[in-house]
Structure 1
């Protein structure tokens, strides 16, 4: 099959389809093999486009991706943000359109700078740099990355080496090389085969147990979000979590309540936490998500402990429009969604010490933080166990909690650590260092999950280096495709 020209309109249609295909690679669909297909559809005929057409193709891909894969934003705005359907649809559409611009800008810049020379390498590198851009710009949104799908694929063994962006790069290279193979460039099969077969030769374990397993109980209160921040919600939350704690077996080492389990500040919850501590077995600990406030009037989304626990963690990476309101001066009071009864959070400092509970050093990531691979890797360096608490009630019955859970599994695999995940209504689970779920609760049930997690020691290559090596490699690959700016010399007759 030789390289042929085809109408840009067909490429735009394929871009929309490709975006939807990436959504299908993620949970709950988990069709990871569609990732290279999606990249191949974007790569096909790309260098026939002008930079403006490339940007449009990237934008349409983003529309397909976020329109299908981040539809849970509508649930948060409409169902729990007290916003009418027309306005919720508008705000969700605005979100999708804005997120699609990240892809548009990345591919516009790529087409502006790069030509067809070694395009199968430079296009893959540019793709990962686009994901990197989306990870940090304007606080970042590394949701639906190509690599997220591969926690269960044959590529999974690359995760402890290069993390999620290495998985994205290999997926993108598989897509571009697949197109080259269809163009009868048969050599393209060799590097694809090498990338997919190499995991069979890679180590299966980079870390090892540090001590005996912990007996852990993760509590899922399943409290309705509509009443949570009311007086009734306070009473229901207190009664639910105290009762679940009281009914636990006596051999539990660590009890975990989810993010903001008690809808009140820590100083208000002290009597309840004292009652909970009295219910613990000697030597055991309880960690809970809770709001804190200080003498300067600042508020923090935190994890604190009682019993055999030391230290605290204050969430460092906050969620815009969820934990603080950008442009608050202009937006506050315009619609109900911007007036939810939650105080504006202050980010915790970087470099916080890990919590020690039940004799184990624990690295924390609250809710949204678990999707940031490098942030979690920094937590894992000095930790034996990773803990994430979340309130996924905001997702409703959408696919959001399942996507969130998939990323938590990838963090366990990247760092060779158990991840224990306590959520308000699911998915509450214990994940082993290979990313396998060893125990979980059904969603939307009030229950306690009792299981074991092993404190681990040793560091994976990814924990040591983070994503920087893959980002640099991606930049190098993109540089290989830069246009030759040297003008050709006229031939002498």
Structure 2
């Protein structure tokens, strides 16, 4: 009896430590990337999982996932509580349940690893890397996917990021998982010198990807850009009494730009064109048509018959009279925010938010021509899905030379979501080797070059205008080539193949 109670206490302690290790894993990605901490967190996960009885290993994996994901997107609480007016306990429960649900993939991966591992470094590296990759891919794609906080983002400033144009963020995460296993096995070796030797070898392997670095793309012309950051509080964005001030500031800033391209953030104009004051929309068209500046503006479009879209409208310099306005419609919609999953209408109805069902735009959307450059817009968390952006690069003649993200993170207050989204955008520039400009409501409004370096930055949570320059790029990275044609299926096949090989050899022995 006493032994059973002691075993339960030990199991509880190990699961609690796994929860803390998962929190450290979340911290490795924001407000700055800490690749070393991500590796140590994975090593701690493996050590804890191997210390519990094998049938209970899933508890360790689940606790780690709960700490990781809950610590990553805890700011969803702000949107539901502050702006959705849910009771605090219900908003917190919703975030916890989402994190727990998405942790199931990692819990299963850890359970299978503990069950199938052979305590041989080669097979175990193959097994663990494959299982980790499967867990991340499942979270990225099943049920529309929510891969916010994928492990690879912790390495955006480290040597492993040299792998980005080859295998993307999930490939980096799988390599990091294998390195975490090496750290765990190295620290478990008897004697100080063997441990130091093992860690030195791991460190050398961490640096190895830097030899794969290099440019797959070529420079084109330089664009001057004006990026607007309205800093409109979310609870005032759709308030009728505040709309005149919001519209006035954005319209004046759009008209004042003398850059090649001016960009206003997601729903900078929060009304349909037909709902605007008479002549305002036509005035914008005439201004850009008669000038030398191109404009991209976040605005809802559509009607009750065709459906409404979260869109970007593009105004071309020197356009002919009554020329059609460029239109980009968001393709990857946010669950609960832009579409309501079946069976959850009751939950959305509880929140006092202007939410609803939007229509989806095409996966491969045309770019917006700005002089000789082709600007590829994406809206809010669409830049979380690099494989979907890569689909625009299959035809090299029409592929974007510059990426432009328009976002509104005002739903999440002054939280770490701004820093996390910046890491995401930087990873996309590295995978595709394209610069990206970001015009956001509250931040991060920045310009990023094709190597993930932030070249121009506006302080978050202030109203302001950022003037920047960005150089277009042409050419295709290996990631853009295979992900554009096949999505993430090559990674699925690689992960399943690795796990199947190890599992088969284990059963055959």
Match of 1:401 in 2: 418
Rounded to whole Å, the distance in 1 between the matches of 2:447 and 2:435 is 7
Q: Residues 272, 105 of structure 1: CA spacing in aligned structure 2 closer, same or farther, 3 A cutoff?
A: farther
Match of 1:365 in 2: 378
Match of 1:219 in 2: 228
Q: Residues 12, 433 of structure 1: CA spacing in aligned structure 2 closer, same or farther, 3 A cutoff?
A: same
Match of 2:209 in 1: 199
Paired residues, number:
479
Q: Residues 300, 203 of structure 1: CA spacing in aligned structure 2 closer, same or farther, 3 A cutoff?
A: same
**Offset at 1:295?**
5.7
Contact 1:363/1:385 (<8 A) preserved = yes
Rounded to whole Å, the distance in 2 between the matches of 1:419 and 1:206 is 17
Match of 2:19 in 1: 16
Q: Residues 13, 295 of structure 1: CA spacing in aligned structure 2 closer, same or farther, 3 A cutoff?
A: closer
Quick one: higher RCO (CA 8 Å, sep 6+), 1 or 2? 1
User: TM-score normalized by structure 1?
Assistant: 0.89
Match of 1:76 in 2: 79
Rounded to whole Å, the distance in 2 between the matches of 1:45 and 1:75 is 32
Whether 1:273 and 2:294 are equivalent positions in the alignment is: no
**Offset at 1:140?**
0.8
Contact 2:179/2:206 (<8 A) preserved = no
Q: Which moved more, 1:236-245 or 1:201-210?
A: 201-210
Whether 1:314 and 2:324 are equivalent positions in the alignment is: no
Match of 2:247 in 1: 238
Contact 2:375/2:404 (<8 A) preserved = yes
Match of 2:151 in 1: 146
C-alpha RMSD over aligned residues: 2.6
CA offsets 1:42-66 (integer angstroms, 9 cap, x no match): 2226356566412211110112112
CA offsets 1:56-110 (integer angstroms, 9 cap, x no match): 1111011211222211011111111122323222222222222222322333344
Match of 1:479 in 2: 500
Q: Residues 297, 332 of structure 1: CA spacing in aligned structure 2 closer, same or farther, 3 A cutoff?
A: farther
User: TM-score normalized by structure 2?
Assistant: 0.87
SS at match of 1:33: helix
1:129 paired residue among 130, 134, 137: 134
1:350-389 equivalences under 5 Å are 350-381=363-394, 382-389=399-406
Rounded to whole Å, the distance in 2 between the matches of 1:320 and 1:90 is 17
1:17-96 equivalences under 5 Å are 17-44=20-47, 46-47=49-50, 49=52, 52-96=55-99
Rounded to whole Å, the distance in 2 between the matches of 1:121 and 1:7 is 30
Contact 2:448/2:454 (<8 A) preserved = yes
Q: Residues 190, 125 of structure 1: CA spacing in aligned structure 2 closer, same or farther, 3 A cutoff?
A: farther
Q: Residues 10, 84 of structure 1: CA spacing in aligned structure 2 closer, same or farther, 3 A cutoff?
A: closer
Rounded to whole Å, the distance in 1 between the matches of 2:204 and 2:479 is 21
1:324 paired residue among 329, 335, 339: 339
Structure 1: segments with no counterpart, 5+ residues? 489-493
Match of 2:3 in 1: none
**Offset at 1:459?**
0.9
SS at match of 2:103: helix
Q: Residues 485, 65 of structure 1: CA spacing in aligned structure 2 closer, same or farther, 3 A cutoff?
A: closer
Structure 2: segments with no counterpart, 5+ residues? 1-6, 320-324
Match of 2:322 in 1: none
Match of 1:104 in 2: 107
Match of 1:491 in 2: none
Q: Residues 86, 183 of structure 1: CA spacing in aligned structure 2 closer, same or farther, 3 A cutoff?
A: closer
Rounded to whole Å, the distance in 2 between the matches of 1:445 and 1:486 is 60
Contact 1:125/1:478 (<8 A) preserved = yes
